[in-house]
């Protein structure tokens, strides 16, 4: 790898809805197009990760993994 390539992100030319970009910048608190696009991409990835974590939790909940936490008798004994 050439030392000049370290940390360099490729440039991509795309058509962007300017109104949507401006609104996203307002919501994300970003000042540049680059920062807005990067923040939006990170937000989508993070949102997906959170949704996947919730889905995993719900699967565990449905399987009965946390049944003891919903049992007042068990929880009452836990705090004695």
3-22 pLDDT, tens per residue?
A: 555 677 788 999 999 999 99
Q: pLDDT tens digit string along 67-76? A: 998 899 989 8
In order, the DSSP letters of 15-73 are ---HHHHHHHHHHHT--SHHHHHHHHHHHHHHHHHHHHHHHHHHHHHHTTTTGGGG-HH
Q: pLDDT tens digit string along 49-58? A: 999 999 999 9
Q: Dig out the tokens for 68 from the structure.
A: 């003891």
Burial string for 35-69 (b: 16+ CB within 10 Å, else e) reads: ebbebbeeeeeeeeeeeeeeeeeeeeeeeeeeeee
Confidence (pTM): 0.70
């Amino acid at each position: 790898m050439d030392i000049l390539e370290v940390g360099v992100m490729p440039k991509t030319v795309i058509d962007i809805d300017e109104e949507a970009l401006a609104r996203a910048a307002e919501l994300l608190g970003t000042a540049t197009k680059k920062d807005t696009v990067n923040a939006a991409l990170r937000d989508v990835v993070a949102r997906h990760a959170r949704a996947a974590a919730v889905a995993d939790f719900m699967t565990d909940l449905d399987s009965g993994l946390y049944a003891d936490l919903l049992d007042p008798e068990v929880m009452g004994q836990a705090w004695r």
